[in-house]
Amino acid sequence: MAQRSEISFQDGSWITHGLALGGAVRVVLAEAAEIADALRQAHGLKEGATQIATEAALAALLLSAHAKGRERLTLQLALVVPEARFIGEIDADHRFRGRFSPSRLGSEIDPIDLHGLLLAVKHDEDREVYRGVTAVEGTSIAGALRVYLRDSAQLHGIILVDVVVDDEGRVTRAVAALIERLAPQEGYESLSSEAFAANFAHVEGQDVDRLRELVAGNLAGEPIRVLDRRPVFWGCSCSRTRVLDTLAGLGPEELRAMADEDDGASVDCHFCNAHYEITADELRSMAE
Max avg pLDDT among 42-56, 214-228, 263-277: 42-56
Q: Domains of the chain: which residue ranges?
A: 13-234, 240-287
DSSP state at residue 232: E
Hey, what CATH topology would domain 13-234 get? Hsp33 domain (3.55.30)
Question: In CATH terms, are 13-234 and 240-287 the same topology?
Answer: no
Is 240-287 assigned to CATH 3.90.1280.10? yes
Confidence of residue 73 (pLDDT cuts 50, 70, 90): very high
User: Which contacts qualify for 186-195: CB closer than 8 Å, 24 or more apart?
Assistant: 187/23, 188/19, 188/22, 188/23, 188/24, 189/21, 189/22, 189/23, 189/24, 190/24, 191/21, 191/24, 191/25, 193/156
> For 100, what's the count of Cα atoms within 13 Å in the CB-facing half-sphere?
26
Residue 113: other Cβ atoms inside 10 A: 14
Q: Residue 204 carries which DSSP code?
A: -
SS3 176: strand
Q: What does the mean pLDDT of the chain come to?
A: 85
Contact between 80 and 66 (Cβ < 8 Å): no
Residue 254 Cα distances to 50, 277, 287, angstroms: 39, 17, 8
Rounded average pLDDT over 49-60: 94
Q: How many residues are given for the chain?
A: 288
3-state secondary structure of 141: helix
DSSP 23: G
List pLDDT tens digits, range 137-186: 999 998 899 888 888 766 778 899 999 999 898 999 999 999 988 887 77
